Amino acid sequence: MSKVHRIVTSHLQQVLLIAVLTLASEVSAQPDRGERFENTTAGIALTRPPGWHTVSLETVQKNREKVRLPDKELEQALQTRATAPLFAFMKYPEPHPTLNPSIQITLRPLGGLAASRPAAIMKMALGPMQSNFPDFVLERPIAEVRVSGLPAAHARATYTLTTDAGQFKVRTRIWVVTRGPFMFLIGMSGPAGGPDMSEMEFTTALASIQIEK
């Protein structure tokens, strides 16, 4: 693997980890209804699920600091060098006694992976995650899909996340969406079972995404 690919893979690992952080110390209050959010600079918009809450960048950073990984170098990178998301939502205000379903979207340049298919990028990112999550299980093969008409790859997996608050069985859904020299990484995570799996909310949120071509 080239140096460029190692750098991109390392960043993807960080972003995917951020996408599944579901514990927070504070969530900003928002109206109890679905609301449209748009980032005109990135050219993306989506509707937040009704009743969900927008997470502050301060909370995102606090989430990163709670995660404990076997790879301490990656853990430090997650806390100090990872990119802030364009959007971050949670189902419940904190404190919440169990795993809090979350949605996060991040934008990054493709760099040396500009010619790679989304499925290849996803595979590159997911492989090393198994060393940080020993019970990481890919529930189905990586699938080539389209999100807002753009080429994308989708993966769904379960694993145990260790934080300062304890251990949590997580089911995460990840999409890598490529647009020119950039990629959007969409993460939607929650408990691996029970009423807070939030499948309907995640499906609706994904369908609401519009990305400028």
CB-CB neighbours of 97 under 10 Å: 8
**pLDDT (0 to 100) of residue 24:** 34
DSSP letter for 103, please: E
What does the block give as tokens for 20?
């599944």
Question: What is the pTM (predicted TM-score) of this model?
Answer: 0.80
Note down the domain range covering 26. 3-211
Q: Which ranges in 20-171 belong to alpha helices (H)?
A: 57-66, 72-80, 118-126, 129-132
CATH code, domain carrying 33 = 3.40.1000.10
Q: How many domains does the chain have?
A: 1
Note the pLDDT of residue 198.
Answer: 94
Pair 182, 13: CB distance under 8 Å: no
Q: What does the alpha-carbon distance between residue 13 and residue 82 come to, in Å, rounded to a whole number?
A: 10
pLDDT of the residue at 37: 92
Per-residue pLDDT, 184: 94
Flag residues of the chain having pLDDT under 70.
1-34, 56-83, 94-95, 128, 163-165
64 contacts: CB under 8 Å, gap ≥ 6: 18, 21, 78, 79, 82
* Token duo for residue 14: 């960080």
What pLDDT was estimated at residue 17? 52
Phi and psi based region of residue 194 (left: phi greater than 0; alpha: psi -120 to 50; beta: remaining): left
pLDDT of residue 167: 79
Instruction: Report pLDDT for 203.
Output: 96
